[in-house]
């Protein structure tokens, strides 16, 4: 069952007019909310990011937070999986093709839930292989736009090399990966690229930053150079579907020892601990 413009229906019955600006221009915003043990994770933060993305591109917000939560809970209840990923997609709506934003049209709102596939034991214990590439995307990567062609082109280059992700650099500095944020460990200090217009403000990035703060793990939020990335002791990627995973091979070379590092193990354990606490609280 999916949600489309106020109605619930089987996905096979969902129809979008071809003049929808999401189809014509990629003119829309999306979110992805992970659900662990049937509880949405950090829904308020996802809602806030959605509101910010919609405001940045002047699409009217179709949902209050309570309305969004109601649809999320209905979709969760309609599916059997304990862990789900709720995909939310809002386009500017349907109008004759014209680059300027049309006035007074209704956004198209689509939501669906899929089973959330958590990282495998192998990915956790061995880490991931990635490639690095120049960041070819636009300069508003803080907006969660449905136009993902740059992300897809670069990710596909990683896939062609048998790698799981692509880590991007812009003008000699680390930005992020195609669907995750990146942090680098050097000499016991975690380096986190600033949340500016060049990266998506990841909800998992925020969780890791909170954990680094609350556990007094040395870290710096500042631009990270290509040289620092390439001489890192550890590299991590964070996202809703991966929590935090280690990158152990970059461009065919080992990162540090070529095994997930000690600080990764500590932070991943803290991340899982935080999720377990939420689970306990939601069952109280």
The closest alpha carbon to 86, from 50, 119, 112, belongs to: 112
* Contact region with ligand PMP (CB under 6 A), list: 12-20, 71-79, 234-242, 256-264: 234-242
Footprint on residues 199-228 left by ligand PMP (CB under 6 A): 200, 202-205
- CA dist 37 and 277 (Å) reads 12
Query: What is the pattern of x (binds ligand PMP, CB under 6 A) and - over residues 65-104?
Result: ----------------------------------------
The least distance separating ligand PMP from the CB of residue 32, rounded to whole angstroms, comes to: 5
> CA dihedral in degrees (89, 167, 36, 111; nearest 10)?
10
Which tokens belong to 104?
């007074």
The least distance separating ligand PMP from the CB of residue 156, rounded to whole angstroms, comes to: 15
Sign of CA dihedral 197, 207, 84, 235: positive
Which of residues 84, 91, 181, 248 is near ligand PMP by CB under 6 A?
181
The answer to whether residue 32 forms part of the interface with ligand PMP (CB under 6 A) is: yes
Catalytic residue among 144, 195, 253, 259: 144
- Binding residues for ligand PMP, rule CB under 6 A, total 13
Residue 144 catalytic?
yes
The answer to whether residue 175 forms part of the interface with ligand PMP (CB under 6 A) is: no
The answer to whether residue 240 forms part of the interface with ligand PMP (CB under 6 A) is: yes
The answer to whether residue 179 forms part of the interface with ligand PMP (CB under 6 A) is: yes
- Catalytic center residues: 144
């Amino acid at each position: 069952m999916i949600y489309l413009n106020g109605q619930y229906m089987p996905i096979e019955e969902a129809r979008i007019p071809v003049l929808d600006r999401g189809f014509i221009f990629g003119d829309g915003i999306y979110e992805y909310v992970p659900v662990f043990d049937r509880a949405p994770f950090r829904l308020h933060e996802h809602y806030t990011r959605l509101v910010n993305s919609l405001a940045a591109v002047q699409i009217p917000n179709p949902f209050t937070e309570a309305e969004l939560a109601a649809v999320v809970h209905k979709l969760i209840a309609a599916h059997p999986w304990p862990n789900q990923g709720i995909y939310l997609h809002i386009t500017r709506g349907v109008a004759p093709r014209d680059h300027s934003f049309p006035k007074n049209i209704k956004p198209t709102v689509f939501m669906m839930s899929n089973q959330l596939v958590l990282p495998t034991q192998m990915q956790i214990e061995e880490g991931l292989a990635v490639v690095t590439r120049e960041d070819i995307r636009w300069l508003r990567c803080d907006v969660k736009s449905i136009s993902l062609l740059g992300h897809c082109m670069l990710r596909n280059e990683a896939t062609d090399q048998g790698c799981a992700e692509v880590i991007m650099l812009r003008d000699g500095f680390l930005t992020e990966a195609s669907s995750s944020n990146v942090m680098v460990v050097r000499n016991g200090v975690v380096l986190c690229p600033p949340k500016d217009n060049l990266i998506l403000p990841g909800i998992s990035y925020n969780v890791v930053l909170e954990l680094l703060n609350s556990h007094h793990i040395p870290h710096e939020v500042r631009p990270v150079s290509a040289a620092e990335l390439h001489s890192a002791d550890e590299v991590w990627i964070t996202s809703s579907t991966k929590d935090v995973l280690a990158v152990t091979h970059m461009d065919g070379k080992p990162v540090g020892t070529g095994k997930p590092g000690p600080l990764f193990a500590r932070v991943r354990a803290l991340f899982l601990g935080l999720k377990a606490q939420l689970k306990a609280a939601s069952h109280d």
